[in-house]
Amino acid sequence: MKLAGTDLRLLKVFDAVVRHHGFAAAQAELNVSQSTISNHISVLEERLGATLCQRGRGGFSLTEKGKIVFAATERLFGAMAEFDVDVTAIKGKLVGELKIGVVDCLVSDPENTLSAAISRFKTRPNDVLMTVKQLSPQELQEHVLAGEFDIGIGSFPHKIDGLSYEPLYQEQHGLFCGSTHPLFDLSDESVSLDELQHQEFVGRHYWRDSLHHSFGFNRITASVYQIEPQLMLILSGKYIGFLPLHYASSWVDAGHLRQLFGRRIGYSCSFDLIIKKGFQKTSLVETFLEDMRASQQS
Protein backbone atom coordinates (compact mmCIF):
# COMPACT_ATOMS: atom_id res chain seq x y z
CA MET A 1 0.00 0.00 0.00
CA LYS A 2 1.06 3.59 -0.60
CA LEU A 3 1.28 5.57 2.60
CA ALA A 4 -0.47 8.90 2.93
CA GLY A 5 -0.17 11.47 5.69
CA THR A 6 -3.37 10.12 7.27
CA ASP A 7 -1.83 6.63 7.41
CA LEU A 8 1.18 7.92 9.33
CA ARG A 9 -1.08 9.59 11.88
CA LEU A 10 -3.05 6.36 12.32
CA LEU A 11 0.14 4.34 12.68
CA LYS A 12 1.38 6.74 15.38
CA VAL A 13 -1.81 6.07 17.32
CA PHE A 14 -1.38 2.32 16.84
CA ASP A 15 2.28 2.54 17.93
CA ALA A 16 1.35 4.40 21.12
CA VAL A 17 -1.43 1.94 21.97
CA VAL A 18 0.92 -1.05 21.61
CA ARG A 19 3.73 0.56 23.62
CA HIS A 20 1.31 1.43 26.43
CA HIS A 21 -0.46 -1.95 26.28
CA GLY A 22 -3.92 -0.53 25.74
CA PHE A 23 -6.12 2.41 24.85
CA ALA A 24 -6.51 3.89 28.32
CA ALA A 25 -2.77 4.05 29.02
CA ALA A 26 -2.11 5.66 25.62
CA GLN A 27 -4.49 8.57 26.30
CA ALA A 28 -1.93 10.72 28.13
CA GLU A 29 0.60 10.53 25.30
CA LEU A 30 -1.91 11.06 22.50
CA ASN A 31 -4.04 13.60 24.40
CA VAL A 32 -7.29 12.26 22.94
CA SER A 33 -10.20 10.24 24.34
CA GLN A 34 -10.41 6.44 24.34
CA SER A 35 -13.30 6.59 21.88
CA THR A 36 -11.17 8.65 19.45
CA ILE A 37 -8.31 6.18 19.80
CA SER A 38 -10.71 3.29 19.15
CA ASN A 39 -12.04 5.02 16.04
CA HIS A 40 -8.50 5.60 14.74
CA ILE A 41 -7.60 1.93 15.22
CA SER A 42 -10.80 0.85 13.46
CA VAL A 43 -10.02 3.12 10.50
CA LEU A 44 -6.47 1.72 10.32
CA GLU A 45 -7.78 -1.85 10.41
CA GLU A 46 -10.21 -1.06 7.61
CA ARG A 47 -7.41 0.60 5.63
CA LEU A 48 -5.17 -2.47 6.03
CA GLY A 49 -7.95 -5.05 5.73
CA ALA A 50 -6.92 -6.84 8.90
CA THR A 51 -7.77 -6.98 12.60
CA LEU A 52 -4.74 -5.68 14.47
CA CYS A 53 -5.69 -6.15 18.10
CA GLN A 54 -8.16 -7.69 20.50
CA ARG A 55 -9.71 -5.36 23.05
CA GLY A 56 -12.36 -5.93 25.64
CA ARG A 57 -12.80 -7.58 29.02
CA GLY A 58 -9.95 -9.97 28.28
CA GLY A 59 -7.56 -7.06 27.97
CA PHE A 60 -5.51 -5.73 25.09
CA SER A 61 -3.49 -8.04 22.86
CA LEU A 62 -2.10 -7.99 19.34
CA THR A 63 -3.23 -10.44 16.71
CA GLU A 64 -0.57 -12.20 14.65
CA LYS A 65 -1.18 -9.70 11.83
CA GLY A 66 -1.05 -6.91 14.39
CA LYS A 67 2.40 -8.08 15.49
CA ILE A 68 3.61 -7.94 11.88
CA VAL A 69 2.20 -4.43 11.39
CA PHE A 70 3.71 -3.21 14.67
CA ALA A 71 7.16 -4.52 13.73
CA ALA A 72 6.88 -2.83 10.32
CA THR A 73 5.69 0.38 12.03
CA GLU A 74 8.74 0.38 14.31
CA ARG A 75 11.03 -0.04 11.31
CA LEU A 76 9.23 2.74 9.44
CA PHE A 77 9.46 5.26 12.27
CA GLY A 78 13.06 4.29 12.93
CA ALA A 79 13.96 4.89 9.28
CA MET A 80 12.12 8.23 9.32
CA ALA A 81 14.04 9.32 12.43
CA GLU A 82 17.36 8.33 10.84
CA PHE A 83 16.42 10.24 7.68
CA ASP A 84 15.66 13.34 9.73
CA VAL A 85 18.95 13.10 11.59
CA ASP A 86 21.07 12.47 8.50
CA VAL A 87 19.46 15.17 6.37
CA THR A 88 19.69 17.76 9.13
CA ALA A 89 23.35 16.82 9.67
CA ILE A 90 24.03 18.06 6.13
CA LYS A 91 23.34 21.52 7.50
CA GLY A 92 25.87 20.91 10.28
CA LYS A 93 23.29 20.54 13.05
CA LEU A 94 22.48 17.36 14.97
CA VAL A 95 18.82 16.61 15.73
CA GLY A 96 16.76 13.73 17.06
CA GLU A 97 16.67 11.84 20.33
CA LEU A 98 19.67 10.22 21.98
CA LYS A 99 18.65 7.47 24.42
CA ILE A 100 21.27 6.43 26.97
CA GLY A 101 20.87 3.76 29.64
CA VAL A 102 23.09 3.59 32.73
CA VAL A 103 23.42 1.54 35.90
CA ASP A 104 23.16 3.20 39.30
CA CYS A 105 25.84 5.01 41.33
CA LEU A 106 27.88 6.40 38.42
CA VAL A 107 27.91 10.01 39.58
CA SER A 108 30.43 9.47 42.41
CA ASP A 109 32.82 7.43 40.25
CA PRO A 110 35.83 9.52 39.19
CA GLU A 111 36.49 7.08 36.35
CA ASN A 112 33.09 7.71 34.80
CA THR A 113 33.27 10.35 32.06
CA LEU A 114 29.65 10.38 30.90
CA SER A 115 29.07 13.92 32.20
CA ALA A 116 32.22 15.11 30.44
CA ALA A 117 31.09 13.44 27.21
CA ILE A 118 27.68 15.12 27.45
CA SER A 119 29.37 18.48 28.04
CA ARG A 120 31.59 17.97 24.99
CA PHE A 121 28.62 16.87 22.91
CA LYS A 122 26.53 19.91 23.91
CA THR A 123 29.20 22.28 22.57
CA ARG A 124 28.33 21.04 19.09
CA PRO A 125 25.46 22.67 17.16
CA ASN A 126 22.50 20.48 17.99
CA ASP A 127 18.84 20.37 18.86
CA VAL A 128 18.93 16.91 20.45
CA LEU A 129 16.55 15.56 23.06
CA MET A 130 18.73 13.56 25.44
CA THR A 131 17.04 10.83 27.48
CA VAL A 132 19.01 9.11 30.26
CA LYS A 133 17.47 6.27 32.27
CA GLN A 134 18.83 4.15 35.12
CA LEU A 135 18.28 0.39 34.94
CA SER A 136 19.72 -2.84 36.29
CA PRO A 137 22.46 -4.45 34.16
CA GLN A 138 20.11 -7.11 32.77
CA GLU A 139 17.36 -4.61 31.95
CA LEU A 140 19.87 -2.29 30.33
CA GLN A 141 21.19 -5.02 28.05
CA GLU A 142 17.65 -6.04 27.08
CA HIS A 143 16.68 -2.44 26.22
CA VAL A 144 19.78 -1.87 24.08
CA LEU A 145 19.28 -5.22 22.31
CA ALA A 146 15.64 -4.31 21.60
CA GLY A 147 16.72 -0.95 20.12
CA GLU A 148 14.97 1.02 22.87
CA PHE A 149 18.28 2.63 23.88
CA ASP A 150 21.12 3.70 21.61
CA ILE A 151 23.89 3.26 24.17
CA GLY A 152 24.31 1.56 27.53
CA ILE A 153 26.98 2.10 30.19
CA GLY A 154 27.48 -0.29 33.08
CA SER A 155 29.06 -3.42 34.47
CA PHE A 156 27.60 -6.57 32.96
CA PRO A 157 28.43 -9.81 34.80
CA HIS A 158 26.32 -11.85 32.36
CA LYS A 159 27.01 -10.78 28.77
CA ILE A 160 24.50 -11.67 26.06
CA ASP A 161 24.71 -12.32 22.33
CA GLY A 162 23.80 -9.51 19.97
CA LEU A 163 25.60 -6.74 21.85
CA SER A 164 29.03 -5.20 21.39
CA TYR A 165 30.97 -4.51 24.62
CA GLU A 166 33.62 -1.78 24.62
CA PRO A 167 35.73 -1.69 27.83
CA LEU A 168 35.83 1.66 29.61
CA TYR A 169 37.42 1.21 33.05
CA GLN A 170 37.61 -0.94 36.20
CA GLU A 171 35.58 -0.26 39.34
CA GLN A 172 36.95 -1.41 42.71
CA HIS A 173 34.68 -2.92 45.38
CA GLY A 174 35.41 -3.52 49.07
CA LEU A 175 33.66 -5.22 51.98
CA PHE A 176 31.85 -2.91 54.46
CA CYS A 177 29.85 -2.91 57.67
CA GLY A 178 27.81 -0.16 59.35
CA SER A 179 28.75 1.73 62.51
CA THR A 180 26.35 -0.30 64.70
CA HIS A 181 27.53 -3.66 63.41
CA PRO A 182 29.38 -5.85 65.97
CA LEU A 183 32.50 -5.88 63.75
CA PHE A 184 32.74 -2.10 63.40
CA ASP A 185 34.92 -1.46 66.47
CA LEU A 186 36.98 -4.63 66.17
CA SER A 187 40.38 -4.65 64.48
CA ASP A 188 40.77 -6.87 61.44
CA GLU A 189 43.41 -8.85 63.33
CA SER A 190 40.89 -9.76 66.04
CA VAL A 191 38.31 -11.08 63.57
CA SER A 192 38.81 -14.57 62.22
CA LEU A 193 37.91 -15.37 58.62
CA ASP A 194 35.42 -17.96 59.91
CA GLU A 195 33.71 -15.32 62.08
CA LEU A 196 33.58 -12.92 59.15
CA GLN A 197 32.08 -15.51 56.83
CA HIS A 198 29.29 -16.30 59.28
CA GLN A 199 27.94 -12.73 59.32
CA GLU A 200 24.65 -12.05 57.55
CA PHE A 201 25.49 -10.89 54.03
CA VAL A 202 23.59 -8.74 51.53
CA GLY A 203 24.18 -9.66 47.90
CA ARG A 204 23.28 -8.10 44.60
CA HIS A 205 20.64 -9.95 42.64
CA TYR A 206 22.40 -9.58 39.29
CA TRP A 207 25.65 -11.14 40.54
CA ARG A 208 25.85 -14.91 40.58
CA ASP A 209 26.08 -16.34 44.09
CA SER A 210 29.36 -17.92 43.01
CA LEU A 211 31.03 -14.50 43.42
CA HIS A 212 29.95 -14.27 47.05
CA HIS A 213 30.66 -17.93 47.69
CA SER A 214 34.19 -17.52 46.32
CA PHE A 215 34.89 -15.35 49.39
CA GLY A 216 33.17 -17.87 51.67
CA PHE A 217 30.01 -15.77 52.20
CA ASN A 218 27.30 -18.41 52.22
CA ARG A 219 24.89 -16.75 54.66
CA ILE A 220 23.20 -14.49 52.09
CA THR A 221 20.05 -13.34 53.89
CA ALA A 222 19.26 -10.24 51.80
CA SER A 223 19.41 -9.40 48.11
CA VAL A 224 19.03 -6.11 46.22
CA TYR A 225 18.72 -4.88 42.66
CA GLN A 226 20.53 -1.55 43.13
CA ILE A 227 23.48 -0.36 45.18
CA GLU A 228 21.62 2.28 47.21
CA PRO A 229 19.30 -0.28 48.87
CA GLN A 230 22.40 -2.36 49.57
CA LEU A 231 23.97 0.61 51.36
CA MET A 232 20.78 1.05 53.42
CA LEU A 233 20.92 -2.56 54.57
CA ILE A 234 24.60 -2.30 55.47
CA LEU A 235 23.97 0.96 57.38
CA SER A 236 21.33 -0.91 59.44
CA GLY A 237 24.19 -2.63 61.21
CA LYS A 238 22.72 -6.07 60.52
CA TYR A 239 24.53 -6.98 57.31
CA ILE A 240 27.93 -6.81 55.68
CA GLY A 241 28.34 -6.48 51.92
CA PHE A 242 30.38 -5.23 49.02
CA LEU A 243 30.17 -1.61 47.82
CA PRO A 244 32.11 0.42 45.22
CA LEU A 245 34.96 2.19 47.01
CA HIS A 246 34.10 5.56 45.45
CA TYR A 247 30.47 5.25 46.59
CA ALA A 248 31.32 4.23 50.14
CA SER A 249 34.10 6.76 50.74
CA SER A 250 31.94 9.66 51.97
CA TRP A 251 30.13 7.33 54.41
CA VAL A 252 33.46 6.05 55.68
CA ASP A 253 34.70 9.61 56.19
CA ALA A 254 31.53 10.44 58.14
CA GLY A 255 32.06 7.44 60.42
CA HIS A 256 28.99 5.52 59.24
CA LEU A 257 30.83 2.74 57.39
CA ARG A 258 34.02 0.81 57.84
CA GLN A 259 35.88 -1.19 55.24
CA LEU A 260 36.68 -4.67 56.52
CA PHE A 261 40.08 -6.24 55.83
CA GLY A 262 41.09 -3.36 53.59
CA ARG A 263 41.90 -4.40 50.04
CA ARG A 264 42.51 -8.01 51.06
CA ILE A 265 38.84 -8.82 50.47
CA GLY A 266 37.36 -7.19 47.39
CA TYR A 267 37.15 -7.37 43.65
CA SER A 268 37.11 -5.21 40.53
CA CYS A 269 34.50 -5.22 37.78
CA SER A 270 34.78 -3.99 34.23
CA PHE A 271 32.56 -1.15 33.02
CA ASP A 272 31.62 -1.32 29.36
CA LEU A 273 29.89 0.78 26.76
CA ILE A 274 27.36 -1.37 24.90
CA ILE A 275 25.62 -0.97 21.57
CA LYS A 276 23.61 -3.39 19.49
CA LYS A 277 25.63 -5.45 17.02
CA GLY A 278 24.79 -4.66 13.42
CA PHE A 279 23.05 -1.47 14.51
CA GLN A 280 23.30 1.14 11.75
CA LYS A 281 24.45 4.08 13.81
CA THR A 282 23.12 7.50 12.89
CA SER A 283 25.45 10.49 12.72
CA LEU A 284 23.94 11.51 16.08
CA VAL A 285 25.00 8.28 17.79
CA GLU A 286 28.37 8.22 16.01
CA THR A 287 29.09 11.76 17.20
CA PHE A 288 28.24 10.98 20.81
CA LEU A 289 30.36 7.82 20.76
CA GLU A 290 33.23 9.91 19.43
CA ASP A 291 32.80 12.38 22.31
CA MET A 292 32.50 9.55 24.83
CA ARG A 293 35.77 7.99 23.68
CA ALA A 294 37.55 11.34 23.60
CA SER A 295 36.41 12.09 27.17
CA GLN A 296 37.57 8.66 28.30
CA GLN A 297 41.05 9.29 26.92
CA SER A 298 41.47 12.82 28.28
| DSSP secondary structure, 17-72, as one string | HHHTTSHHHHHHHHTS-HHHHHHHHHHHHHHHTS--EE-STT--EE-HHHHHHHHH
Regarding whether 179 and 165 lie in a shared domain, the answer is no
Domain identity same for 153 and 127: yes
How confident is residue 1, by pLDDT bands cut at 50, 70 and 90?
Answer: low
Regarding whether 24 and 51 lie in a shared domain, the answer is yes
Looking up residue 150, the CATH number of its domain turns out to be 3.40.190.10
Question: What pLDDT score was predicted for residue 263?
Answer: 82
Query: 16, 44, 74 — which closes off a domain?
Result: 74
Residue range 250-270: mean pLDDT, rounded: 94
Is the pLDDT at 235 greater than 90? The verdict is yes
Domain count, the chain: 3
Rounded average pLDDT over 218-234: 93
Answer yes or no: is 79 within a domain: no
Q: Are residues 158 and 203 in the same domain?
A: no
144 occurs within a structural domain: yes
Predicted pLDDT at 224: 92
85-102 per-position pLDDT tens digit: 677 666 667 888 999 999
- pTM for the model: 0.69
Please report which helix (H) or strand (E) contains residue 100, including its range.
strand 94-102
Residue 162: inside a domain: yes
**Residues contacting 245, CB < 8 A, separation 6+:** 172, 173, 174, 259, 266
Average pLDDT, stretch 161-181?
Answer: 95
Q: Which domain holds residue 34?
A: 5-74
